[in-house]
Structure 1
Amino acid sequence: MNHFPLFADLKGRTAVVVGAGLVAERKIALLLAAGARVVVSARAAHPQVLARAQAGEIDLRLGSFDPALLDEAWLAVAATNDRAQNRQVADAAATRRLFCNVVDDPELSSVQVPAIVDRAPLTIAISSGGAAPVIARRLRERIESMFDPALGALAALAQRKRPDIRQARPQLRARRDFYDWLLDGPVLGALRRGRENEAESLLDQALATANPPPAGKVLLVGAGPGDPGLLTLRGLRALNEADVILADRLVSPAVLALARRDAHVIDVGKAPGGPHESTQSRIHALMVSHARQGRCVVRLKGGDPMVFGRGGEELQHLKRHGIAYEVVPGITAALACGAYAGIPLTHRDHAQSLTLSTAHVKAGGQVNAPAPPPSPSAEPHDPADRDGQTRVYYMGVERLPALRDRLLAEGHAANLPCALVENGSRPEQRALHATLGSVVEQARRHAIRSPALIIVGEVAALGMDLAWFGETLLTTTAGESSDASAGGAAPQRQQAAA
């Protein structure tokens, strides 16, 4: 170990910063956050540093560096672009047995400022001893994604309640178990939701009992469309908290690979045409059973759990059975498929509204039922007569003929642009561009399969030019098709008409 790790209490104590540029400003901000009294010495100051001085946040001394400034200091920072000046500061600090950090100069520094993950009062510091600060920064970025922002509030609450915890749990083992419960139980969830009073009440109730109740809960997590890079940070943390994962069929293996290695993964996917209701009943039972055994259950759904994912039904079931739950949103398929196919779902020139629909409903319902034929006075839309709307249909590939018939019966033009995006955001993504009149034939020709999203509207044609990911299939005027790789030159819109 080349350096001794140490956290300094600088509250109310003087720290001297020599230099007043942007680099110095970053050190000033850190010192102020730690409660230090900051004195800045520089020949000239950046406007941000001047603004701090004018606001009374720092004591700014313009002019040449005076070593006597360090007489009352607890820490010195040299942050100029003049190494001779920085050496003078380091030497002056050394004669006073004062720690000095020289920015980006390990040789002159007697102390290093680490990369920091701030969850005050929790602080995680990473240092390479000045040998490779970029590596330390990258590690900080990774660690940042692992730790819940609410951990700071939990630590502050535990600090305030520490005397009560010691009194209620005098034995060390019992105290350790209680702190484990604090981390795993409902208190952290309440703080994450911004409910400080509820969190404190839960802690007090647990202290009043001999043993806290099992800390079981269900996290309803959106896994996104498939690309693991689109999983949210909160979703990633949930996967690392999980004891049990109930995964849908559309959750990609790449996302599941991010989960805790010892988590028990249960496949609860519903196959197209399968017994959905019996599978859903099993999912309900599994959530309640595992949560009541004190486990953290992640109900992992493709896309967003609250958009055509039965998330509402599952929350209602959990609520009825008294199970604690949280919802972690995900990127829904419409957003991801549109973006990855280069199709803006709204556009000032083409679409000012967006409709999301599903082809599946609860047993007994109807979706995409044939519409009544238009009245004799109604005329089909002219291609130039745009209604300014984008329509996106989920789970509709098997019902594509009925959907086409309905839209045509409603008066939409046969040459209205359409796109089918199969396996959106995944390496095997394909985007088929056609028209309302030709989309069924082209989908059959290219064997488009679920999961696929249907986009109908003027904006769909933009994907022929803006596509950047996956394979793009363009129909031609002869009713045949051609392939265009993402990012390449795409045919003009008239080539999409079959």
Structure 2
Amino acid sequence: MEQFPAYISLRSRPVLIIGGGPGALAKARLVLAAGADLTVIAPEFASEVREELDARARLIKREPAVADIEASVIVFIADVDESDARRWADVARMGGVLLNVVDRPELCDFTTPSIIDRGQVTVSISTNGAAPVLGKKLRQNIEALLPSRLGELAEFAAKYRASVRARIPAQQRRAFWEKFFDSPIAAQILSGDEWGAHEQMLALINRSQTEQEVGVVHIVGAGPGDPELLTIKALRLLQQADVILYDRLVSDEILSLARRDAERFYVGKAKSNHAVPQEEIEARMIAFAREGKMVVRLKGGDPFVFGRGGEELQALQNASIPSHVCPGVTAATGCAASANMALTHRDFAQAVTFVTGHAKGEADPDLDWPALSALKNTLVVYMGVSKAALISAKLIEHGRAASTPVAVIENGTRSNQKVLKGTLCELDDLIKAGGVKGPALLVVGEVAALADGETLTMLSGQERLVA
């Protein structure tokens, strides 16, 4: 985040615009809508500026003075040449006044975003001045999704905040409001029936609030790492959660989408290093839910594919905790697609098998090597980097050809994704030459030859160039 977003009250506060053309008029419309006490100063004013602003702002026909700037809360500069813009920008900075210079982001202390105005609800989109047209396009897309009476809904809720605070215990209020905004009452307001909504709201608040409601746990798949692969449902749950328990494979970009005031607990596991034992994770989820909280158990990939999601769901059900599963894009499908590699292909593989190369402690994976070698289809190994040499040796020993294509995908779908490809007998050498540490997937089968990746020869060539 390069700029800190904030909403500033300008009602009845002094704002100055330097300039008398269309750029100045556009800024004037924005600040007047926010109730500012506006002064516009310029040697000359365009006719449309004078006609629209004459009765709504002070129009002063002269060069600005230092005192004009220092008396203002914020200053906009528009429709002036670059030398004058820089001169007045220097004055503003020396006076500690926040400044916006139209179309000159390098001179700005702040930028004005594209705005969606729904009364009490304001949505703004900023590109930090880098691409204003993109900001406007995003505004159009978002505006189409927002009901026209959204501001009225916010005003309605504001009228009942004191009543809700008086009647409903603090630990239940967030859940109350979350239910309200998804309720038929909210739908009534958005459809224009505010009178009927008042009657329903009073009945809702006056119901008995003595019983502590049990919370809920959502076991959510975060996908392989790219936040754009998060499902819409997963995003909504993240933004509603009171508590988030997340794994090592959940990216920072995905966590940044969560509700900012949600409690977050890292419960990740690495090989032979369990930050929090599985039994404690389950106990924490149950305890938080019994406090009436909405809990999200956030797991990389899909929670039911080598994610122990089934164990956690069973523990929640045994404790009579309401629980739901939100699937995610599993690492195998997401990473393969990111490497432009199909896991099944009519010409090369009619099936795909997922296995884990991880075993308890430092033990070797206990897999049916003869069966896996005989399949001749795509084999995807999760958590297999540290056992790559053993995996390739066992598969070759039991009949898989040493020349079988393989691919190694590290940090799949993320900005630092690395894809290596070669043959089964080269698997361990590929991992070492590529510096692969994980998380990574191993893909064995003819489809691996289709991946966009570097070969052992390419890696060796790079090493020679570096040396």
* TM-score, L = length of structure 1: 0.53
Higher helix share: 2
Contact 2:222 2:328 in 1 (8 A): yes
CA separation of 1:215 and 1:372: change in aligned 2, threshold 3 A: closer
Indicate conservation of the 8 Å contact 2:370/2:399, yes or no: no
The match for 1:352 among 350, 353, 356 is: 350
Q: Does 1:298 align with 2:306?
A: no
Tell me how large the CA RMSD over aligned residues is.
4.6
Shift of 1:420: 0.5
Alignment partner of 1:305: what SS? coil
- Residues 227 and 425 of structure 1 are in contact (CA less than 8 Å); yes or no, is this contact kept in structure 2? yes
C-alpha deviation, 1:445, in angstroms: 2.2
d(CA) in 2 for partners of 1:146, 1:233: 16
Q: Does 1:473 align with 2:461?
A: no
8 A contact 1:356–1:392 mirrored in 2: yes
CA contact (8 A) 2:433 2:460 kept: no
Mean alpha-carbon deviation: is it higher for 303-312 or for 320-329?
A: 320-329
Report if the CA contact (8 A) 1:370-1:402 is conserved: no
Alignment of 1:316-327 (within 5 A): 316-327=314-325
Residue-by-residue CA offset, 1:68-108 (whole Å, 9 max, x unaligned)? xxxxxxxxxxxxxxxxxxxxxxxxxxxxxxxxxxxxxxxxx
For residue 236 of structure 2, what is the aligned residue in structure 1? Answer: 237
Secondary structure of 2:245's partner?
strand
- Any idea what SS the aligned residue of 1:419 has? strand
1:369·1:402 contact (CA, 8 Å) conserved in 2? no
Aligned counterpart in structure 1 of residue 422 of structure 2, from 417, 431, 434: 434
CA distance in 2, matches of 1:134, 1:473: 35
Question: Which of these residues, 396, 406, 409, is aligned with residue 384 of structure 2?
Answer: 396
Query: Which residue is 1:272 aligned to?
Result: 271
Q: What corresponds to 1:249 in structure 2?
A: 248
**Paired residues of 1:308 and 1:358 also in contact (CA < 8 A):** yes
The separation in 2 between residues aligned to 1:373 and 1:215, in whole angstroms, is: 47
Q: Is the 8 A contact 1:350 1:388 kept in 2?
A: no
List alignment gaps of at least 5 residues for structure 2: 1-28, 31-115, 124-131, 148-152, 154-162, 184-202, 463-467
- Contact conserved, 1:145 with 1:233, CA < 8 A, in 2? no
Q: Distance in 2 between matches of 1:264 and 1:461?
A: 44
TM-superposed CA distance for 1:456, in Å, is 0.5
Distance 1:373 1:344, change over 3 A: closer
1:410, distance to aligned residue in structure 2 (A): 2.0
Report the alpha carbon displacement of residue 268 of structure 1 after superposing the two structures with TM: 0.6
Query: How far did 1:214 drift?
Result: 2.3
| TM-score (normalizing by structure 2) | 0.57
Query: Residue 343 of structure 2 contacts residue 378 of structure 2 at CA under 8 Å; is this kept in 1?
Result: yes
Distance 1:405 1:233 in 2: 42
Measure, in 2, the Cα distance between the counterparts of 1:140 and 1:274. 48
Q: Name the aligned partner's letter for residue 456 of structure 2.
A: T
Q: 2:443 aligns with which of 455, 458, 464?
A: 455
Verify the 8 A CA contact 1:370 1:406 in the aligned structure 2.
no
1:184–1:317 CA distance, 2 compared to 1 (3 A): farther
Do the aligned partners of 1:368 and 1:403 also contact (CA within 8 Å) in 2? no
Match of 1:309 in 2: 307
* Counterpart Cα distance in 1 of 2:327 and 2:371: 40
Distance (Å, rounded) in 1 between the aligned partners of 2:278 and 2:300: 15
Judged with a 3 Å threshold, the aligned counterparts in structure 2 of structure 1 residues 373 and 255 are, in CA distance, closer, same or farther, namely closer
Q: How many residues align?
A: 317
2:271–2:361 Cα contact (<8 Å) kept: no
Q: Counterpart of 1:394 in structure 2: which amino acid?
A: Y
CA 214–145 in structure 1, closer or farther in 2 if over 3 Å, else same: farther
Provide the residue aligned with 2:77 in structure 1.
none
Provide closer, same or farther for how the CA distance between residues 344 and 286 of structure 1 changes in structure 2, counting only shifts above 3 A. Answer: same
Q: Aligned equivalents of 2:390 and 2:382: distance in 1?
A: 14
Distance 1:179 1:243, change over 3 A: closer
Change beyond 3 A, Cα 1:406–1:207: farther
Query: Aligned to 2:327, which of 312, 326, 329?
Result: 329
Deviation at 1:389, TM superposition (A): 1.2
Deviations 1:131-150 (A, max 9, x none): x9997874475478899xxx
| 1:474 Cα offset (Å) | 1.1
Q: Structure 1: how far apart are the matches of 2:291 and 2:141?
A: 34
1:248–1:142: structure 2 CA closer, same or farther, 3 Å change rule?
A: farther
Deviations, residues 247-297 of structure 1 (Å, cap 9, x unaligned): 101111111111111111111111221247x62122112111111111111
Matched residue type, 1:426? R
Q: CA deviation at 1:243?
A: 1.1
